[in-house]
């Protein structure tokens, strides 16, 4: 039974709402709620029409969907099992911290210092009861420190196995590639030997680099193996290390010794192909076309259509080639689409070169130059250095003194046509699958695009990003690489699951759609104590609703 009770304190009357009930046959107050003074109750009654005092919006849909995938993969449990029991003074386990870091990498990459502020803008605190103090960046560092090299490998192996079994990933053909990421680690820092200066693929030659190799599935581009290595090591030198790890972890799971690895010409060496044979791995690779002019010279009448439905405009010749110490099956392809793109790109390059030659010729014609003939010829060589330009541009430099130098040039249209006929649109694929149809060889090689897409995703600063990385020791950099690759795997699993349901979206579009599902918190005036809160989800479009059902985010929705 409920009753209102007034209590005198320092001459003021304060009212409480009491609930009484019989407990063990005796009357007892089971709850008591503070209502305030009489004027507080009157003010609350005046606002009883249901208008909230204020509201706030929290991120929900994308955060809940990603968290549901992390729980489905048992990320927290797998990591905690690898590192052992959590410290008695820790507010959350190591697995929880790394799961949170993965969640942040996917949804809104930021530093650990900024994590707490981002977390406050999400609804996740409602189902993850973590004290705000536990989200201090130093607590994340403590968790990362708990993962040594052995635990790191165990975690990656078990997460890979979980993804394969939980999502039915096909390991029959896997794509392998490598890239590097620029860091801002100080040159004098000796605690991160993995960060070295080398060939920067992001064009930041002034920064130290961390290399990253990935092996991804042909279906969905799901990374199942990663390998971080010093940024000054060439990709080809790391190939055997990745192949060894791949063989150790996944050959048995593929239930066959016929596992195929797809890679580009950057990994080519006789030693690497010998290593593949030693490990009983099949391959689909490529050769630089210009290294095999006798294949490029084969007449157009030798080409046959590959598969007009799957690969429109693609023709091929099935042959053999002597390469990398052996006779190998080669598939020479010509793509009309690639031919057209290369022609357009070359036209742009050629136009830039002719503009520069025009400017140089005009400078020389004014007779004001003091450069020697050697320096003028060096400038011409620099202009003609871009790919293929020197083959189609003819030039002459006349005059005996700087003031007399004159430049004349022209485009050799016949040489341009010969270049197109010889190279444009052509690729040379090699494989040891002697019985595969040409279309299957082409499809296998094109799966290389999946790992390239993964690297592009990791270099996207807004979603599933490797950067920002504010770590300066090798151990933390390796842990950072672990949860960044895990973030990529989760994002691509989400994209794959959506595609299987008929929803074809990029990772960014998928997360953007889910992000339209927000949680609105309505804060109503209270007669005492904290304001009363009511939580509801915002309205959203049809695709977001379908994704919400697909990823089961209703399990995290507010109940009131």
Q: Tens digits of per-residue pLDDT, 376-387?
A: 999 999 999 998
- Considering only residues 25 and 317, tell me which one the structure prediction assigns the higher pLDDT: 317
Cβ–Cβ < 8 Å for 128, 104: no
Average confidence (pLDDT) over 163-173? 89
pLDDT digits (tens, 9 = 90+) for 104-132: 999 999 999 999 999 999 999 999 988 88
Q: Within 13 A of 320's CA, how many CA atoms are on the CB side?
A: 7
Within 10 A of 332 (CB to CB), how many other CB atoms are there? 22
- The C-alpha angle 529, 534, 536, rounded to 5 degrees, equals 160
Q: Where are the alpha helices (DSSP H) in 395-541?
A: 413-423, 438-446, 448-458, 474-500, 507-515
Q: What per-residue confidence (pLDDT) applies to 549?
A: 94
Please state the φ and ψ torsions of residue 160, each to the nearest 5 degrees.
-60, -45
Residue 356, C-beta contacts closer than 8 angstroms, at least 6 positions apart: 383
CA–CA distance, 84 with 500 (Å, rounded to integer): 37
SS3 12: strand
Structure tokens at 124: 């996740």
Residue 183, exposed/middle/buried by CB under 10 A (0-12, 13-18, 19+)? buried
Within 10 A of 15 (CB to CB), how many other CB atoms are there? 18
- Considering only residues 33 and 473, tell me which one the structure prediction assigns the higher pLDDT: 473
Structure tokens at 463: 């979603």
Torsion of the alpha carbons at 324, 327, 332 and 338, rounded to the nearest 10: -10
Average confidence (pLDDT) over 498-521? 93
Q: What per-residue confidence (pLDDT) applies to 553?
A: 93
pLDDT digits (tens, 9 = 90+) for 2-15: 778 788 888 888 87
Q: What per-residue confidence (pLDDT) applies to 91?
A: 81
Confidence grade of residue 400 (pLDDT, cut at 50, 70, 90) = confident
Confidence grade of residue 49 (pLDDT, cut at 50, 70, 90) = very low
Average confidence (pLDDT) over 483-491? 96
Q: What per-residue confidence (pLDDT) applies to 560?
A: 61
Output the 3-class SS for 331-343: EEEEEHHHHHHHH
- Residue of 300, 303, 359 lying closest to 331 (CA atoms): 303
CA–CA distance, 460 with 453 (Å, rounded to integer): 11
For 119-152, b/e burial (b = at least 16 CB within 10 A) is beebbbebebebeeeebbeebbeebbebbeeebb
User: Which range (23-37, 415-429, 466-480, 496-510) has the least confidence?
Assistant: 23-37
- Decide if pLDDT at 160 tops 60: yes
Cβ–Cβ < 8 Å for 520, 535: yes
CA–CA distance, 192 with 189 (Å, rounded to integer): 7
Q: Within 13 A of 328's CA, how many CA atoms are on the CB side?
A: 23
Average confidence (pLDDT) over 500-529? 87
Which secondary structure element, helix H or strand E, spans residue 322, and what is its range? strand 314-323
- Decide if pLDDT at 259 tops 90: no
Average confidence (pLDDT) over 497-523? 92
Pairing of strands 314-323, 326-335: antiparallel
For 216-250, b/e burial (b = at least 16 CB within 10 A) is bbbbbbbbbbbbbbbbebebeebbbebbebbbebb
Average confidence (pLDDT) over 34-48? 68
Residue 403, C-beta contacts closer than 8 angstroms, at least 6 positions apart: 367, 368, 369
SS3 519: strand
User: Which range (116-125, 199-208, 238-247, 290-299) has the least confidence?
Assistant: 199-208
Percentage of the chain exceeding pLDDT 70: 95
Confidence grade of residue 256 (pLDDT, cut at 50, 70, 90) = very low
Q: What per-residue confidence (pLDDT) applies to 280?
A: 86
Pairing of strands 223-230, 209-217: antiparallel
DSSP 196-253: B----TTS-TTS-EEEEEEEEETTT--EEEEEEEETTS-HHHHHHHHHHHHHHHHTTT
- Residue of 500, 511, 496, 504 lying closest to 465 (CA atoms): 511
The per-residue pLDDT of the chain, averaged, comes to 88
Average confidence (pLDDT) over 484-489? 96
Q: What per-residue confidence (pLDDT) applies to 198?
A: 78
């Amino acid at each position: 039974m409920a009753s209102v009770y007034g209590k005198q304190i320092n001459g003021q009357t304060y009212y409480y709402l009491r609930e009484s009930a019989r407990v063990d046959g005796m009357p007892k107050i089971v709850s008591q709620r503070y209502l305030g003074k009489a004027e507080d109750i009157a003010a609350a009654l005046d606002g009883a029409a249901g208008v909230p005092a204020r509201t706030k919006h929290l991120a929900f849909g994308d955060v809940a969907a990603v968290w549901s995938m992390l729980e489905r993969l048992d990320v927290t449990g797998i990591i905690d099992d690898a590192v052992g029991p959590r410290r008695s003074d820790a507010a959350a386990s190591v697995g929880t911290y790394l799961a949170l870091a993965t969640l942040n990498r996917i949804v809104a990459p930021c530093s650990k210092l900024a994590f707490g502020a981002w977390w406050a803008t999400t609804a996740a605190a409602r189902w993850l009861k973590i004290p705000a103090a536990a989200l201090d960046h130093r607590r994340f560092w403590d968790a990362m420190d708990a993962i040594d090299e052995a635990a790191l490998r165990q975690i990656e192996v078990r997460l890979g196995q979980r993804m394969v079994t939980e999502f039915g990933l096909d390991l029959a053909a896997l794509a392998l590639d490598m890239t590097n990421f620029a860091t801002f680690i100080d040159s004098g820092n000796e605690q991160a030997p993995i960060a070295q200066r080398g060939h920067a693929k992001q064009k930041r030659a002034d920064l130290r680099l961390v290399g990253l190799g990935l092996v991804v599935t042909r279906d969905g581009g799901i990374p199942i193996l990663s390998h971080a290595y010093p940024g000054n090591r060439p990709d080809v030198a790391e190939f055997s290390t990745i192949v060894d790890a791949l063989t150790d972890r996944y050959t048995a799971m593929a239930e066959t010794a016929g596992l195929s690895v797809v890679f580009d010409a950057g990994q080519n060496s006789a030693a690497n192909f010998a290593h593949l044979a030693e490990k009983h791995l099949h391959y689909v690779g490529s050769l630089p076309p210009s290294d095999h002019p006798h294949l490029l010279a084969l007449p157009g009448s030798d080409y046959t259509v590959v598969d007009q439905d799957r690969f429109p405009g693609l023709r091929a010749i099935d042959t053999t080639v002597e390469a990398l110490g052996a006779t190998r099956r080669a598939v020479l392809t010509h793509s009309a689409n690639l031919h057209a793109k290369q022609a357009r790109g070359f036209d742009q390059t050629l136009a830039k070169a002719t503009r520069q030659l025009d400017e140089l010729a005009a400078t020389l014609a004014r007779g004001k130059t003091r450069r020697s003939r050697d320096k003028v010829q060096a400038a011409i060589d620099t202009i003609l250095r871009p790919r293929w330009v020197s083959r189609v541009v003819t030039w002459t430099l006349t005059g005996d003194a700087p003031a007399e130098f004159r430049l004349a040039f022209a485009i050799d249209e016949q040489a341009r046509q010969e270049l197109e006929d010889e190279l444009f649109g052509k690729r040379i694929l090699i494989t040891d699958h002697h019985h595969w149809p040409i279309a299957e060889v082409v499809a296998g090689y094109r799966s290389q695009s999946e790992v390239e897409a993964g690297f592009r995703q990791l270099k996207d600063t807004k979603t599933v990003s490797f950067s920002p990385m504010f770590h300066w020791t090798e151990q933390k950099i390796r842990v950072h690489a672990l949860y960044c690759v895990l973030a990529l795997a989760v994002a691509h699993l989400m994209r794959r699951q959506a595609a299987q349901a008929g929803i074809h979206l990029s990772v960014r579009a998928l997360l953007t759609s889910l992000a339209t599902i927000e949680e609105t918190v309505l804060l109503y005036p209270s007669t005492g104590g904290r304001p009363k809160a009511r939580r509801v989800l915002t309205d959203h479009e049809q695709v977001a609703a379908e994704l919400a059902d697909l990823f089961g985010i209703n399990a995290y929705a507010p109940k009131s």
